[in-house]
Amino acid sequence: MHFASQIIWTLGFALVVLSSPAWAATDLFVEDFTSSHANWANYNTSAPLTHVASGGPDLGAFASGPRPFLGLPAGGPTDVAVVFRARPETIWNSSGGAFVRDYSADGIGVVSAFVRHNVPDPLTFFVRVATGPGSPGHVYAAGVDVPPNVWTKISADVSPDSPQLLSSEGSSWNAVFPAARHLQIGVVTPLGYAGIATAYTFDVDQVTLSTPEPTAAALAAVGFVALACSTRRRNRGGGS
């Protein structure tokens, strides 16, 4: 096989593999709050979120809740304030129990959502996954700073070796994710707000559990494997 043909074969092989279902990112569940607040709880579980019929990132429905910062510690990356809670208990059964699952067996590597807030400063959001209320969990920074009053997509890599991990709370990935039951979304507590009693408004929509997308590194790896196989076959066959 000539070198040019080798390259074409390699690229073709890589594209075929990466376009197969095993390599394509898949949304396993999306909570879009179409007709209700889906039994999601507010920051302190004193009430469900408010269902809003229109105005979401897709102009459709979304859920909303308050969050004051009064008295909370701020300044460190793990000083966090929960805003939204998908709870597993029967009295809540948030999203019909869709977040009670084995992330490992289901291949879930990404939790994403659209969020909006009216705090005057940009905020860093986080995602927390735990085995239940009061149990240790894993906290992940959710990618981007979110400016005020703008719907913004956040995304957390919740894989075992995630670079977005803020805190494991003393638990291992294998102790949490095969038995995940509690999902929380919140923000890193902003500096200067601990003395303010205002309950700011936070909105959420399209909370999504996904398998991870293939990365550039994965594409390169597939290409190298394909090239190695091609070279090995050529060497064995002795042909051109």
- Judged against a pLDDT cut of 70, whether residue 200 lies above it is answered with yes
- Judged against a pLDDT cut of 80, whether residue 187 lies above it is answered with yes
- Judged against a pLDDT cut of 70, whether residue 231 lies above it is answered with no
In a domain, 240, yes or no: no
| Arithmetic mean of pLDDT over the chain | 84
**Which of 4-13, 151-160, 208-217 has the lowest average pLDDT?**
4-13
In a domain, 12, yes or no: no
Average pLDDT score over residue span 142-164: 95
- Which pTM value belongs to this model? 0.80
In a domain, 204, yes or no: yes
- pLDDT value of position 218: 44
- pLDDT value of position 76: 75
CATH assignment at residue 201: 2.60.120.260
**Which of 5-9, 116-120, 211-215 has the lowest average pLDDT?**
5-9
CA 105 to chain centre: 17
In a domain, 10, yes or no: no
Average pLDDT score over residue span 109-135: 95
Q: Is the dihedral of CA 101, 60, 127, 212 positive or negative?
A: positive
- The domain tally of the chain equals 1
In a domain, 127, yes or no: yes
**Which of 88-92, 131-135, 171-175 has the lowest average pLDDT?**
131-135
**Higher-confidence residue: 74 or 14?**
74
In a domain, 239, yes or no: no
- Judged against a pLDDT cut of 50, whether residue 25 lies above it is answered with yes
- pLDDT value of position 2: 53
Share of the chain above pLDDT 90, in %: 68
- Judged against a pLDDT cut of 90, whether residue 34 lies above it is answered with yes
What is the number of other CB atoms lying within 10 angstroms of the CB of residue 40? 25
Closest CA to 116 of 192, 55, 191: 55
**Residue linked to tokens 């429905």:** 61
In a domain, 14, yes or no: no
Question: Is the Cβ–Cβ distance between 4 and 240 less than 8 Å?
Answer: no
In a domain, 8, yes or no: no
- pLDDT value of position 1: 53
Question: Residue 139's domain spans which residues?
Answer: 26-222
Question: Is the Cβ–Cβ distance between 100 and 89 less than 8 Å?
Answer: no
